[in-house]
């Protein structure tokens, strides 16, 4: 694959930009309209060049704390959800007013984990974002914290941004925070060198990644940004990790922050969803022969090679294909319900009734996710 440089970010037709809570809030936790407006000016200038932008913005919960009179991070889920309800409206209205000065209309897209882990929801989200962009609207994406049932994390939208970069078929991803790149140590605690380019995960072997944010309103540290950058890079998307103050320079392809060069070819939407966004509903345990067939020959999985089934799933749900040693070999869409499979285990295809499909997981609905065990 031809090496891709920072110029790919400057010339990207469509770019996803993610900004964290620490860049949008004051030290007291209130919404920082000065920083927000400065970022909008940068993105508005990008739009004026005829380019498309998708903004993934944290900050909803933080923006709702001051109006509710809540000091610091809420300790209970209900208060966090209430803050998100108030703050999301305030955050997007502030964005809408600022972008209006550039003649840009914005649209709000709130996503939950289900919207990206369920295939049908994933397709719907893709169509919505694509249509907004076609209509000239700048989508502003955030996690729908008001209905989240899992632990709410302040400003940690890095993985969401990487998933959105593929969902939106973006040509580049820029992750912005209050740190100007990936260092080999914590620059706040002593000497540390900035990594200018990451060509391979091994380039990060000696990097110690912290997790604390500057002002306590965001929990997304550099570790989450590196994880998201690697996810996007492996899916063929160039990434820049830098500070919000350097957003204009990063989008112009200048030597700022840390550039993650694409480390793989861009997979199809279905392959990407299976590998990175799907949530496995169960596991199929494979014998050694089936592992070799799936892993080395990329063959479909047949009932004869399955020794056990775990989990509760129905036909067309994603499941993990696991070797006897516990290594996850692949992920795919299963053709049967969990209740149907036990009586089929170990049976050869010729022994199955004609109404049963031959493949339990077809090769076209499978992605390899593991590697051959050493030795």
Question: Which pLDDT belongs to residue 62?
Answer: 84
Q: Residue 112: helix, strand or coil by DSSP?
A: coil
Question: Which pLDDT belongs to residue 372?
Answer: 46
Distance CA 220, CA 360 (A): 39
Structure confidence by residue, pLDDT tens digits, 76-107? 888 888 988 999 999 999 999 999 999 999 99
Regions of the chain with pLDDT less than 50: 1, 151-155, 211-219, 372-375
Question: Which pLDDT belongs to residue 153?
Answer: 45
- Residue 73: count of CB within 10 angstroms of its CB: 18
Question: Which pLDDT belongs to residue 355?
Answer: 58
Question: Which pLDDT belongs to residue 154?
Answer: 32
The backbone torsions φ and ψ at residue 282, rounded to the nearest 5 degrees and listed phi first, read -175, -175
Question: Which pLDDT belongs to residue 295?
Answer: 93
Q: CA of 164: how far to CAs of 28, 54, 150, 152, 178, in Å?
A: 30, 9, 20, 19, 21
Question: Which pLDDT belongs to residue 269?
Answer: 79
Alpha helices for 235-317 (secondary structure H): 247-251, 269-272, 288-297
Question: Which pLDDT belongs to residue 8?
Answer: 95
Question: Which pTM does this prediction carry?
Answer: 0.82
Question: Which pLDDT belongs to residue 338?
Answer: 94
Question: Which pLDDT belongs to residue 358?
Answer: 76
* Nearest by Cα to 290 from 253, 327, 259, 317: 327
Q: How wide is the angle at C-alpha 102 spanned by C-alphas 96 and 108, nearest 5°? A: 25
């Amino acid at each position: 694959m031809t090496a891709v440089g920072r110029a790919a970010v400057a010339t990207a037709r469509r770019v996803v930009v993610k900004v964290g809570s620490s860049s949008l809030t004051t030290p007291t936790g209130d919404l920082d309209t000065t920083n927000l407006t400065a970022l909008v000016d940068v993105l508005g200038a990008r739009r004026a060049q005829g380019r498309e932008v998708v903004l993934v913005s944290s900050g909803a919960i933080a923006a709702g704390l001051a109006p509710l009179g809540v000091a610091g991070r809420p300790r209970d889920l209900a208060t966090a959800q209430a803050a998100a309800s108030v703050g999301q409206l305030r955050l997007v209205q502030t964005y809408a007013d600022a972008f209006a000065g550039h003649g840009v209309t914005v649209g709000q897209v709130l996503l939950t984990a289900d919207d990206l882990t369920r295939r049908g929801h994933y397709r719907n989200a893709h169509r919505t974002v694509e249509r907004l962009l076609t209509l000239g609207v700048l989508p502003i994406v955030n996690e729908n914290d008001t209905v989240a049932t899992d632990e709410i994390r302040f400003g940690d939208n890095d993985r969401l941004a990487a998933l959105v970069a593929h969902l939106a078929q973006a040509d580049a991803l820029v992750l912005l925070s209050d740190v100007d790149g990936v260092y080999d140590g914590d620059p706040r605690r002593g000497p540390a060198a900035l990594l200018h380019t990451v060509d391979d995960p091994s380039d990060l072997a000696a990097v110690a990644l912290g997790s604390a944010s500057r002002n306590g309103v965001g929990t997304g540290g550099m570790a989450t940004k590196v994880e998201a950058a690697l996810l996007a890079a492996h899916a063929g998307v160039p990434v820049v990790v830098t500070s919000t103050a350097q957003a204009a320079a990063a989008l112009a392809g200048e030597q700022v922050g840390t550039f993650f060069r694409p480390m793989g070819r861009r997979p199809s939407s279905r392959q990407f969803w299976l590998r990175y966004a799907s949530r496995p509903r169960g596991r199929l345990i494979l014998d050694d022969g089936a592992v070799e067939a799936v892993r080395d020959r990329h063959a479909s999985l047949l009932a004869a090679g399955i020794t056990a089934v775990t989990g509760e799933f129905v036909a067309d749900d994603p499941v993990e294909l696991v070797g006897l040693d516990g290594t996850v070999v692949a992920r795919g869409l299963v053709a049967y319900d969990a209740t149907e499979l036990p009586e089929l285990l170990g049976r050869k295809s010729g022994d199955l009734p004609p109404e049963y499909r031959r493949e339990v997981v077809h090769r076209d609905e499978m992605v390899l996710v593991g590697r051959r065990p050493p030795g």
